[in-house]
Amino acid sequence: MSEKKIPYKIYLEESEMPKAWYNLRADMKNKPAPLLNPATLKPMTAEELSGVFCAELVEQELDDTTAFFDIPEDIRNFYKMYRPSPLVRAYCLEEKLNTPAKIYYKFEGNNTSGSHKLNSAIAQAYYAKKQGLKGVTTETGAGQWGTALSMACSYFGLDCKVYMVKCSYEQKPFRREVMRTYGASVTPSPSEETNVGRKILAEHPGTTGSLGCAISEAVEKAVSSEGYRYVLGSVLNQVLLHQSVIGLETKTALDKYNVKPDIIIGCAGGGSNLGGLIAPFMGEKLRGEADYRIIAVEPASCPSLTRGVYAYDFCDTGMVCPLAKMYTLGCDFIPSANHAGGLRYHGMSSTLSQLYDDGLMEAVSVKQTDVFEAAEYFARVEGILPAPESAHAIKATIDEAVKCRETGEDKTIVFGLTGTGYFDMVAYEKFHDNQMNDYIPTDEELKSYAAKLPEIK
Amino acid sequence: MSEKKIPYKIYLEESEMPKAWYNLRADMKNKPAPLLNPATLKPMTAEELSGVFCAELVEQELDDTTAFFDIPEDIRNFYKMYRPSPLVRAYCLEEKLNTPAKIYYKFEGNNTSGSHKLNSAIAQAYYAKKQGLKGVTTETGAGQWGTALSMACSYFGLDCKVYMVKCSYEQKPFRREVMRTYGASVTPSPSEETNVGRKILAEHPGTTGSLGCAISEAVEKAVSSEGYRYVLGSVLNQVLLHQSVIGLETKTALDKYNVKPDIIIGCAGGGSNLGGLIAPFMGEKLRGEADYRIIAVEPASCPSLTRGVYAYDFCDTGMVCPLAKMYTLGCDFIPSANHAGGLRYHGMSSTLSQLYDDGLMEAVSVKQTDVFEAAEYFARVEGILPAPESAHAIKATIDEAVKCRETGEDKTIVFGLTGTGYFDMVAYEKFHDNQMNDYIPTDEELKSYAAKLPEIK
């Protein structure tokens, strides 16, 4: 089949947008390990989880056999406000790199939250509303998830309470202000509002917070407030399910032009973007219908896949959450203060962890200054200023495209451009002013965190 | 003809994108008055202008008879990186307002410069490159134009020197940092780098600058530097020409669905967005082929059309630029420091001024707090956080849609959503904290500025 002339941007028609999310786990032979109750070390039941999460989200969380979940019409209508997102052919980047590789990126940044996080935020808000809840609580680090959830809650008239990692709260007043525009309340974490926050503040008076700690606060607030549940923007199976809309659109767009990717690349923090982007492709791979190289890109300063341990661990610092089996650095691990972007979670989605352990995907880690160099290069060549997170995927893509130049292979590379960097200019400024370094944890450090992992067979 | 089902977003195919810009002046019976040489008070010749502007841009500036100018291929390729921009059907806004009106907006904010300014920036950079120049100089107020020009210059490898109004430079460090990411040098204005800057600083030591003053500095720098020319992001005929791409795409998209607008609404500072959006519609109106209500929306704090004088005036505070006949508040006029958004230029495009004087379009002014209220409302309902400038058009659109609700008329309204507000969160914060007021200049103030206008027949 010959390729049709590919436009710079492929937009699907509304009618071509996915009507169901794809649940990758249904096609996995080795299912991801279940969440465990930290008290009993038994798998969490739906009943236990429903104190924390909305009932329908619990169903999605636990179901590893149903391949497709219909996307409710209200959510599809919301999606139409900012989706389908474009699949961009990076002609300018290819030319500049002088590579025979063909590069595409799925751009999820063209919405006010500035990233793909909105895809799951609107779904989680929808089910909360449907269940008759008053509101939801969550944590946010870089601020993208909090912004997305604020928008989603505003749409459905839900109260939204965000615990924002304190250093981000202070460094990113504008992110906070966007959330406020959407009516959310934003509290710097750790705070005096929760037991776990007070405990952490007492033990570490000067702490600027961490994602794991903000999660603990948000969960405590949800379970102790009438009519509230907790929602999370990554890591969970339900989030990967909702984010499959990214991969489904990508696949439909490529299929329209008879394009078959060789390599699929995504940045990976908790795994929400990568899991969503690769979902239908990994599905084909699992079913033996096609083969792809799939590459997770993580920061060298927070290398859960490339240097972590595959074991049960707490999802949060306060150890109030269930245990998940995942590649982890240990729930106390906090990346160097010099680390500027997101992707700072200590663990990785159980689903992706299992796929990685089964050798179905690869992982690489990249250094921070290399990431910002790639980000600036991309901004100048392709005209989009990327989020630091997304720039991890850009860096790995450029590396692969340069290899193609050297070997003369015209591979097709698809990567996820998860968001824009408009609220990350402090980090760009650091980069411009040579104030950024590449601190990488030592083996000894990682060992000391790994030694504290709970012992569970 | 019946309307086809209208999607939330209408995207044109690449092949449907305009291949030529439309020069509205060609269809005007009363041509806009020519620029005058301030020394001789005679119309500026091409030769005189070519010391300041690139040669081909001078041709475009002076040509009021050629209806279409081909868009060079390099520019069309750049346009493909972020255009066509979507024409959005505001279904959610219509529903929320409970209005029978049908509302569309042309959204120009989905690019890293965050506004429509990029449409002309890339054209001006292209002609500068073609002429073999080293670089260009310009001014920027809110920062959108400077960002757009930085991106355009980076694409063509041109040096870019931006004079940024000092109060913006200090309030918007992130805008500055985006320009730096694209390799531009940014100087707060007034500066010690130019004669006019030093003069203004000597006379007003504490000044935080103005757009008119930054223009003077940029022009002086261009004419005194070998291989440099000056470029401007609004007001000029050439800019309106390039911005016609907005209106041409809008018209093509509407025509595809057999939609005929009744009212077209745009915010107006110097006139670049409004002039571009309305171009093909006004053309039809001038040729007697169709009729539309066309509404310019300006800030009550800087009301050049609604309360200004139609007269020759200087384009800049330093009086180094040619004189233009326009609706003006006087070149010394500076809006209240409390005024948060852009649209702070003292005059209005000569073309739009003539059309307004001929009764071919209307103008309204809106108060700042009403604008931000409309902005927040829109952000929550349509999911896009608008630039304060764009929110002027939103406010006027909501007013018209509410009138339709009252009369039961199902008018079709199209407005220009020129950009996003991600770099305007300080202004949003002021609004949330009730730190914003609605200062409107008094008649006496405006009279005192008008009294200083040059006396030219």
Please provide residue A251's backbone torsions phi and psi, each rounded to the nearest 5 degrees. Answer: -65, -45
Pick from B252, B293, B230: nearest CA to B22: B252
Q: Looking at residue A414, what is its pLDDT?
A: 98
Cβ-defined contact of A11 to B11 (cutoff 8 Å)? yes
- pLDDT higher than 80, residue A341: no
Question: H helices of A172-225, where?
Answer: 173-181, 195-203, 211-223
Shortest distance, CA A99 to any CA of chain B (angstroms): 19
CA distance B320 to B316: 7
Shortest distance, CA A379 to any CA of chain B (angstroms): 8
Size of interface A-B (CB pairs under 8 A): 106
Give percent of chain A above pLDDT 70. Answer: 99
Cβ atoms of residues A135 and A163 within 8 Å = no
Q: What residues of chain A lie within 8 A of the CB of B112, using their CB?
A: 379, 383-385, 420
Taking CA–CA distances from A183, the nearest residue in chain B reads B380
Provide the whole-model pTM.
0.96
Pick from B63, B39, B35: nearest CA to B49: B35
Q: Check the CA dihedral B53-B56-B59-B64 and report its sign.
A: negative
Each residue's pLDDT expressed in tens, for chain B with a length of 457 residues: 445 689 999 999 999 999 999 999 999 999 999 999 999 999 999 999 999 999 999 999 999 999 999 999 999 999 999 999 999 999 999 999 999 999 999 999 999 999 999 999 999 999 999 999 999 999 998 899 999 999 999 999 999 999 999 988 988 889 999 999 999 999 999 999 999 999 999 999 988 888 888 999 999 999 999 999 999 999 999 999 999 999 999 999 999 999 999 999 999 999 999 999 999 999 999 999 999 999 999 999 999 999 999 999 998 877 878 999 999 999 989 888 888 778 888 999 999 999 999 999 999 999 999 999 999 999 999 999 999 999 999 999 999 999 999 999 999 999 999 999 999 999 999 999 999 989 899 999 999 999 999 988 6
Cβ-defined contact of B182 to A380 (cutoff 8 Å)? yes
> Which residue among B8, B14, B80 sits closest to A14, beta carbon to beta carbon?
B8
Q: In terms of C-beta density within 10 A (0-12 exposed, 13-18 middle, 19 or more buried), how is residue A337 classed?
A: exposed
Q: In terms of C-beta density within 10 A (0-12 exposed, 13-18 middle, 19 or more buried), how is residue A196 classed?
A: buried
Cβ-defined contact of A82 to B7 (cutoff 8 Å)? no
CA distance B384 to A151: 10
Q: What angle do CA A412, A414, A415 make, to 5 degrees?
A: 150
Q: Which two tokens stand for residue A28?
A: 């996995």
Q: What residues of chain A lie within 8 A of the CB of B428, using their CB?
A: 177-178, 180-181
Cβ-defined contact of A425 to B177 (cutoff 8 Å)? yes
- pLDDT higher than 60, residue A236: yes
B161: three-class secondary structure by DSSP: strand
Q: What residues of chain B lie within 8 A of the CB of A173, using their CB?
A: 425, 429
A318 pLDDT band, cuts 50/70/90, is confident
User: Which fold does the domain A23-69+117-230 belong to in CATH?
Assistant: Rossmann fold (3.40.50)
- pLDDT higher than 90, residue A173: no
Cβ atoms of residues A194 and A296 within 8 Å = no
Cβ-defined contact of A423 to B428 (cutoff 8 Å)? no
Taking CA–CA distances from A180, the nearest residue in chain B reads B432
Q: Looking at residue B24, what is its pLDDT?
A: 97
Q: Looking at residue A4, what is its pLDDT?
A: 62
Q: Which two tokens stand for residue A230?
A: 């907790």
Q: Which two tokens stand for residue B415?
A: 């407005």
Q: Looking at residue A361, what is its pLDDT?
A: 98
A266: three-class secondary structure by DSSP: strand
Interior/surface letters B275-295, b for 16+ CB within 10 angstroms, e for the rest: bbbbbbbbbebbeeeeebebb
User: Parallel, antiparallel, or unpaired: how do β-strands B102-107 and A68-70 relate?
Assistant: unpaired
Distances (CA, A) of A374 to A101, A343, B3: 17, 17, 46
What is the DSSP-derived secondary structure letter of residue A361?
S
Q: In DSSP terms, which residues pair with A105 in a beta bridge?
A: A88, A415
Please provide residue B320's backbone torsions phi and psi, each rounded to the nearest 5 degrees. Answer: -95, -10
Q: Which two tokens stand for residue A408?
A: 């003369």
CA distance B45 to B452: 26
Pick from B202, B184, B182, B183: nearest CA to B192: B202
> Which residue among B9, B154, B376 sits closest to A380, beta carbon to beta carbon?
B154
Asked if B3-17+72-114+240-441 and B23-69+117-230 have one fold, the answer is yes
Q: What angle do CA B259, B418, A376 make, to 5 degrees?
A: 125
Pick from A295, A205, A281: nearest CA to A250: A281
Taking CA–CA distances from B7, the nearest residue in chain A reads A14
> CA torsion angle for B204, B335, B343, B157 (degrees, to 10)?
10
Domain boundaries, chain A: 3-17+72-114+240-441, 23-69+117-230
Taking CA–CA distances from A12, the nearest residue in chain B reads B11
CA distance A92 to A25: 37
> Which residue among A7, A8, A383 sits closest to B112, beta carbon to beta carbon?
A383
Cβ-defined contact of B385 to A155 (cutoff 8 Å)? no
Q: Give every CB contact of residue A376 below 8 A, 6+ residues apart in sequence.
A: A428, A431, B181
> Which residue among A182, A425, A432 sits closest to B379, beta carbon to beta carbon?
A182
Q: What residues of chain A lie within 8 A of the CB of B11, using their CB?
A: 11
CA distance A146 to A158: 14
Pick from A7, A419, A51, A12: nearest CA to A253: A12
Shortest distance, CA B369 to any CA of chain A (angstroms): 14
Q: What angle do CA B254, B259, B262 make, to 5 degrees?
A: 105
Q: Give every CB contact of residue A74 below 8 A, 6+ residues apart in sequence.
A: A126
Amino acid at B75: I
- pLDDT higher than 70, residue A351: yes
Q: Looking at residue B289, what is its pLDDT?
A: 98
The strand ranges marked E within A342-435 are 362-366, 412-417
A84: three-class secondary structure by DSSP: coil
The A-side interface with B (CB below 8 A) comprises: 7-9, 11, 13-14, 78, 80-82, 92, 110-112, 114, 151, 154-155, 173-174, 177-178, 180-183, 376, 379-380, 382-385, 420, 422-423, 425-426, 428-429, 432
Q: What residues of chain A lie within 8 A of the CB of B422, using their CB?
A: 112, 114, 174, 178, 422-423
Q: What residues of chain B lie within 8 A of the CB of A174, using their CB?
A: 174, 422, 425-426
CA atoms within 13 A on the CB side of B186: 27
CA atoms within 13 A on the CB side of B222: 31
Shortest distance, CA B181 to any CA of chain A (angstroms): 6
CATH 3.40.50.1100 fits B3-17+72-114+240-441, yes or no: yes
Cβ-defined contact of A178 to B385 (cutoff 8 Å)? yes
Q: What angle do CA B208, B210, B215 make, to 5 degrees?
A: 130
Taking CA–CA distances from B109, the nearest residue in chain A reads A110
CA distance B352 to B305: 9
Q: Looking at residue B210, what is its pLDDT?
A: 83
CA distance B221 to B211: 15
Taking CA–CA distances from A178, the nearest residue in chain B reads B425
Cβ-defined contact of B182 to A13 (cutoff 8 Å)? no
CA distance A374 to B323: 46
Cβ atoms of residues B377 and B229 within 8 Å = no
B67: three-class secondary structure by DSSP: coil
Q: Which helix (H) or strand (E) holds B103?
A: strand B102-107
Q: Looking at residue A2, what is its pLDDT?
A: 46
CA distance A259 to A6: 10
Cβ atoms of residues B436 and B311 within 8 Å = no
| Complex-level ipTM beyond the 0.90 threshold | yes
Cβ-defined contact of A7 to B429 (cutoff 8 Å)? no
Cβ atoms of residues A360 and A285 within 8 Å = yes
Q: Check the CA dihedral A324-A327-A330-A334 and report its sign.
A: negative
Q: Give every CB contact of residue A57 below 8 A, 6+ residues apart in sequence.
A: A124, A127, A231, A238
Tens digit of each residue's pLDDT (9 = 90 or more) over A397-425: 999 999 999 999 999 999 999 999 999 99
Cβ-defined contact of B177 to A429 (cutoff 8 Å)? yes
Q: What is the DSSP string of B318-363?
A: TS-SPEEEEEES-TT----TT--SS---SB--HHHHHHHHTTSSEE
* Peptide linkage before B84 cis (omega within 30 of 0): yes
CA distance A26 to B21: 53
Q: Looking at residue B321, what is its pLDDT?
A: 85
